[in-house]
Structure 1
């Protein structure tokens, strides 16, 4: 018996291993196997079982790691599609579908040789020895003498260097160290706690009396457990009941056979901090009712049915989702709900908890490794019927899946920016297709691609054009900053509106999609601007840390008092960020409680939830933030939204810049006027006449779509073509550029069919240097997706055969959403 195994490495093919007789009853497709891989151990995923092997010599698998398959048949099919569509290996795709930390780790331990050579005295480490050459080898021996044994990772940290293999090999050959390799279990595992229970509940009275006379502490523990029997008790709770440290008493009772202690698995509860009250279905508007009827009909029919739900902000899309899921559960089916960011998860989870209680599981990157593992296990066991989470939740191993919902389907954060570079929305559509079930894509501002698909009947278009209870959309006023006097960041109109709103006891949202205090730090004498030495971006000043920080690689430094170029003391902060706006607002409104929500303030666990909960409870009067506050939130006391710089993203070198500007402005405007109090929006802009800003002012999606789609059609951008972005990056700028030019020539000179692939570039990426690597990109466009992928796959393989590319990394991004 043989198995074909996928490994989580950038390789296209599968690896064949022989199955020893002792494992033949255990192997199954979807299980993991421990395999020898080169000089290491690795975790492999069994994707096929066969009776023969095309290779004459095959290695044996070392172990089967699972009692039951961890990759279900639907997920295997989905990840195979991902591997083919997004140009990654099947093993990499499977690994992305599983919770982090479950794979076996190849561990390397280094220690001094037990038989320490006579030469290894204190003097040995202070002088040149014929046995040891090189500073690094001496540093390794010194470190091991202090610690005896270290993992490779710990040794690398202590000697301050990653590449130690040549030094370790030399020391090992001379018999000075031992290098031991092993396979260790991953970090993700069930959490257990020690429990204690009586093993002799009917102990002889004489034995108990003897305990009381000779060992009163043991007797006290025994009596506590006797009263609880047949229930057990966590060992950590014994001390509180008996009033002393019970460890030695428990040990003695175990030795005497009176009690037994065992490990009991407990579930970590990532939703334990959510407070909720049970709620019932809300009455639906006529538009909501029509939409729900269409969805329940699709559920009953049980076929693949993609639906685009275009509902204005505040139209009650979430209520439709929940009532559709309730109907689905009544039919014995289950659902997955995707949200683009973890900042939206607390609101959605609390609403779903109130409706479905703890019949839901949550999956997102804000959970600890253990919490994600526990939630995944609950899903795998069938303990829950609804899964809510970010893009990776689409891989939840739910049986009887009957509906997928992708909320805020337009969001670019559904696209992963590292391998595998999959799009969560598109992958969700493929899972729905493979499992033959309906899928809902919901948004107040659908992506142009999705709306175009709906107009062309690839999706069924569902519309909710009115807010619930007939509430009007907020009035939006644009303040043209070109006509304002002075250099204040807050216009007079916005300041007055904030003052009036706070005076009425209502709340304010202030949106600026730039974090930090100031965008850049410059010398006013010579014009020198401080940039990151690793990336070609300006350093952002963060006042709370008093540091200049790169938002891409996290490089930081203290702002210099004098210019590094000319020595002038006239150095200043320029630009704005949420931290600066927060400071200005505190000066303008000293009596207001002001909060800030951006990546700098939500780094702690549950920080998203805590800030939003304080705002919802009225503990914060004004919340300032980036895009985290712009969508999905439902605060009825927010009656004013202020936008500080509407054109922030308009001038980015990306053909979607106008679309994203319209979407973010429409979404943030929709945070107000959701209650009985109404609402208003004030947008500050210099590009006040741009069509994206004007369309957002009118809440007019259709006029924006019509203008933008004409631009896309003229230049053959998506949805009128499919795109692949090929990014080449390397530490040598000239060499990387030359490789990019040669690749472009190879692609242009390749034979093509009538389905032409247009090759644009190479050109320096918008971020030409990132983390010490120079970046060049080629943009490919073609109207036929299948031909494009075949062309790229064939030509990349051909190019790799022609060129040595060990110093240049090639990244392939299919359907890119970010061209920076």
Structure 2
């Protein structure tokens, strides 16, 4: 008798690990690791996932008392190595095992099961996924002898069409009315053979000029050094990590391509992660130009069916290079030689819903499990990665750093000018654009070049404020100031998504919700306002393209906007941080940062690091071709180390000051910080639960060195969607295993009506 360990899909911390079930002889070939099964649990049927199989019954239980697996609902989606990674994720990130397994499942697979009748088998619900087989029709050798009846005009038309070669039945039906029934009749007579071919959904091509990767005549010294280090890590086959620390435009992508070629030649595949969906078309184009149909693409903007097709290409072995956002990390690629994380410093690699994993950490664990090399690339590496490289080892793997300080073909880094906006204001400047930026934009227009303007805030203005009483309209459901959107004359909450119609001063219908004054005016700057003022400033013939969360909602919008920018003779791209990284347009000679302070003053210990990363990355969009680039950074804090470091292209100016502050306050990379958020509709119940949680954590931590419990306290966003939010911060040493401790403390509180507890290990969002 075979036995299977099954992780039940019941998301509660009260259930730990997997449960053992017997495998009936008739199911032995189907109950394998990774398969989805139906089992009996606590007198009801439950969906579960097989994480291990064995010939031995569970310890201390008579074999006849072990319940059997009732049914197999879906074939294997992952293997033993992936199951071990999922078990590690459950421990590391304090989540139920089923939540750690779900990212590995086939796209579209749901937990619910249905059946047509009591006698029918259960079926797992899916979200319009599964393979699509297109019907193709072709003539058989007997077609030459077949003479249709005089009335069978449709059959004759189908035969004539098929004499040109096999065609899809759907295409025949589009040109010949009734072709489907004619094909069926001809198939019965043996005149036409109908076969099914796998059809891939949604493979879009792009016209982006940067979506190609011509092979360079020679690699730079930095590229050769990086490639040698990656080869060494891959040969070691123990999960070693290589940090490729290269300035913007230094050719990191070419290093990835060359390393993947060597991995493929050695029989291994590659997982490649990019931080922004806006980069996918460019990156996929480059990889497909080198590796063709061996490239699969996985990201959230694909439909469920499209994701399934790409996922299935990987599972079947037809694709060995996977490119996508962080979810691509869980693709069913069995022979992994390389895991590459581009722009590894990006916070988008941290998942904000359970399981709240960080892709870099899961990739490091997966690399050790698969015997692969982990490659991290960035012009602004995270402080955590730099510290691990300085130490040389982390969690049993070797970490090394390779510098790439030069751009290929003699290209140089752009000249950076930091403009003090307070000084501009004292000199009479009232525009969104400083005088140096206006002059630079006019120069771009005269030379018929291109520019990129960054403002990390969408909407027309940050907020409306009454000049009479100082009231700033807030969302009644969230503790968030509402953002003004002039195009739709509305206030929007960017937390819950609700909107309210309103008009700002000087419209006569304006009214303050607090005092009724009509002097409710717009303050701050958003991307809509920059777009409008830019259109008024520049002459006709200069295309202004805005790229933010509002203009990229539709599927494929990222790609279409970038293609417009690429095709324009002279254009300005205005956008949020999605335009700040990875994009490669040689015609861009000017980058302007409208307000560099939007993140700098947030109550977050990573605020300065994120500001420096963003500015250095967006500055790197300029001067990537043969013409020199210029960067103008507008700020009210021109003396901040982040501003001075960007101006000098000298990371140490920022890094030395930042590391000193982090060490003094015991923040990462010198510790781990976890954020446990308690929320509910009743403030009293939330306070009681959060107090009990903090007490339980303090009791477990005791006086252990390097541990610190802060709070409980109200979150910065103290109310979201009518739910009160309080939190507890827990600091611990970098090597400490904090997940199990926090999970057990949260489980120890038991279930409390209306209260939810979210444990975020290695938190990036402290708001």
Partner residue of 1:118? Answer: none
2:534 pairs with one of 566, 585, 596: 585
| Compared CA separation, residues 9 and 566, structure 1 to 2 (3 A) | same
2:662 pairs with one of 700, 707, 712: 712
Partner residue of 1:91? Answer: 98
CA–CA separation in structure 2 for the residues paired with 1:61 and 1:232? 46
**2:351 equivalent to 1:416:** yes
CA–CA separation in structure 2 for the residues paired with 1:343 and 1:282? 29
CA contact (8 A) 1:43 1:103 kept: no
Per-residue CA deviations over 1:114-158 (Å, capped at 9, x if unaligned) read xxxxxxxxxxxxxxxxxxxxxxxxxxxxxxxxxxxxxxxxxxxxx
CA–CA separation in structure 2 for the residues paired with 1:3 and 1:60? 9
Partner residue of 1:806? Answer: 753
| Compared CA separation, residues 521 and 252, structure 1 to 2 (3 A) | same
Following TM superposition, by how much is the alpha carbon of 1:232 offset from its aligned partner in structure 2, in angstroms? 4.1
CA contact (8 A) 1:380 1:398 kept: yes
CA–CA separation in structure 1 for the residues paired with 2:411 and 2:290? 24
Following TM superposition, by how much is the alpha carbon of 1:635 offset from its aligned partner in structure 2, in angstroms? 1.3
Greater Cα shift, 738-747 or 85-94: 738-747
2:694 pairs with one of 737, 744, 757: 744
Matches within 5 A, 1:521-536: 521-536=464-479
Matches within 5 A, 1:162-241: 183-187=123-127, 188-198=129-139, 201-202=141-142, 205=145, 208-209=146-147, 211-222=148-159, 224-225=161-162, 227=163, 232-239=166-173
CA contact (8 A) 1:193 1:263 kept: yes
CA contact (8 A) 1:597 1:626 kept: yes
CA–CA separation in structure 1 for the residues paired with 2:114 and 2:479? 37
CA contact (8 A) 2:714 2:725 kept: yes
**2:253 equivalent to 1:318:** yes
**2:746 equivalent to 1:796:** yes
Q: Number of residues paired by the alignment? A: 740
CA contact (8 A) 1:41 1:182 kept: no
Partner residue of 1:475? Answer: 415
| Compared CA separation, residues 189 and 790, structure 1 to 2 (3 A) | closer
**2:328 equivalent to 1:379:** no
Following TM superposition, by how much is the alpha carbon of 1:547 offset from its aligned partner in structure 2, in angstroms? 1.9
**2:167 equivalent to 1:268:** no
RMSD, aligned α-carbons:
2.6
Partner residue of 1:446? Answer: 381
CA–CA separation in structure 1 for the residues paired with 2:520 and 2:69? 64
| Compared CA separation, residues 680 and 20, structure 1 to 2 (3 A) | same
Following TM superposition, by how much is the alpha carbon of 1:500 offset from its aligned partner in structure 2, in angstroms? 1.0
Partner residue of 1:125? Answer: none
CA–CA separation in structure 2 for the residues paired with 1:793 and 1:247? 58
2:112 pairs with one of 90, 99, 105: 105
Partner residue of 1:782? Answer: 732
1:538 pairs with one of 466, 473, 481: 481
| Compared CA separation, residues 633 and 219, structure 1 to 2 (3 A) | closer
Secondary structure at the aligned position of 1:212 is classed as: coil
Partner residue of 1:147? Answer: none
Per-residue CA deviations over 1:29-63 (Å, capped at 9, x if unaligned) read 22111345678765321113345354886654332
CA–CA separation in structure 1 for the residues paired with 2:562 and 2:429? 34
Following TM superposition, by how much is the alpha carbon of 1:282 offset from its aligned partner in structure 2, in angstroms? 4.1
Partner residue of 1:696? Answer: 646
Following TM superposition, by how much is the alpha carbon of 1:223 offset from its aligned partner in structure 2, in angstroms? 5.0
Q: Which one has more relative contact order, counting CA pairs under 8 Å at least 6 apart?
A: 2
Partner residue of 2:231? Answer: 296
CA–CA separation in structure 1 for the residues paired with 2:444 and 2:317? 49
Partner residue of 1:157? Answer: none
2:401 pairs with one of 452, 456, 461: 461
**2:57 equivalent to 1:52:** yes
**2:330 equivalent to 1:395:** yes
CA–CA separation in structure 2 for the residues paired with 1:784 and 1:250? 67
Partner residue of 1:63? Answer: 71
Matches within 5 A, 1:660-675: 660-675=610-625
Q: Which has the larger radius of gyration?
A: 1
| Compared CA separation, residues 36 and 672, structure 1 to 2 (3 A) | same
Secondary structure at the aligned position of 2:738 is classed as: helix
Partner residue of 1:359? Answer: 294
1:576 pairs with one of 521, 525, 530: 525
Following TM superposition, by how much is the alpha carbon of 1:601 offset from its aligned partner in structure 2, in angstroms? 1.0
Partner residue of 2:440? Answer: 497
Secondary structure at the aligned position of 1:185 is classed as: strand
Per-residue CA deviations over 1:527-576 (Å, capped at 9, x if unaligned) read 22211121110111222222211111111111163222222222222211
CA contact (8 A) 1:595 1:620 kept: no
Per-residue CA deviations over 1:85-131 (Å, capped at 9, x if unaligned) read 00112221111122431245335999xxxxxxxxxxxxxxxxxxxxx
CA–CA separation in structure 1 for the residues paired with 2:299 and 2:323? 9
Secondary structure at the aligned position of 1:595 is classed as: strand
CA–CA separation in structure 2 for the residues paired with 1:38 and 1:596? 55
CA–CA separation in structure 2 for the residues paired with 1:240 and 1:741? 67
CA contact (8 A) 1:102 1:189 kept: no
Following TM superposition, by how much is the alpha carbon of 1:415 offset from its aligned partner in structure 2, in angstroms? 0.2
Following TM superposition, by how much is the alpha carbon of 1:70 offset from its aligned partner in structure 2, in angstroms? 1.5
Secondary structure at the aligned position of 1:357 is classed as: helix
CA contact (8 A) 1:510 1:623 kept: yes
Partner residue of 2:546? Answer: 596
**2:637 equivalent to 1:687:** yes
Q: What stretches of structure 2 of length at least 5 have no aligned partner?
A: 394-398, 504-509
| Compared CA separation, residues 461 and 203, structure 1 to 2 (3 A) | closer
| Compared CA separation, residues 294 and 552, structure 1 to 2 (3 A) | same
CA–CA separation in structure 2 for the residues paired with 1:756 and 1:318? 39
| Compared CA separation, residues 614 and 465, structure 1 to 2 (3 A) | same
Following TM superposition, by how much is the alpha carbon of 1:263 offset from its aligned partner in structure 2, in angstroms? 4.2
CA contact (8 A) 2:454 2:577 kept: yes
| Compared CA separation, residues 91 and 630, structure 1 to 2 (3 A) | same
Per-residue CA deviations over 1:207-266 (Å, capped at 9, x if unaligned) read x44x333433334434544x36xx64311222466x443244344445656546554321
TM-score normalised according to structure 1 size: 0.85
| Compared CA separation, residues 203 and 722, structure 1 to 2 (3 A) | closer
| Compared CA separation, residues 203 and 332, structure 1 to 2 (3 A) | closer
**2:182 equivalent to 1:249:** yes
Greater Cα shift, 743-752 or 509-518: 743-752
Following TM superposition, by how much is the alpha carbon of 1:279 offset from its aligned partner in structure 2, in angstroms? 2.7
CA contact (8 A) 2:415 2:630 kept: yes
Following TM superposition, by how much is the alpha carbon of 1:787 offset from its aligned partner in structure 2, in angstroms? 5.0
Secondary structure at the aligned position of 2:518 is classed as: coil
| Compared CA separation, residues 405 and 248, structure 1 to 2 (3 A) | closer
Per-residue CA deviations over 1:607-639 (Å, capped at 9, x if unaligned) read 111211222223551000110111111111111
Matches within 5 A, 1:564-643: 564-591=513-540, 592-619=542-569, 621-643=571-593
| Compared CA separation, residues 435 and 248, structure 1 to 2 (3 A) | closer
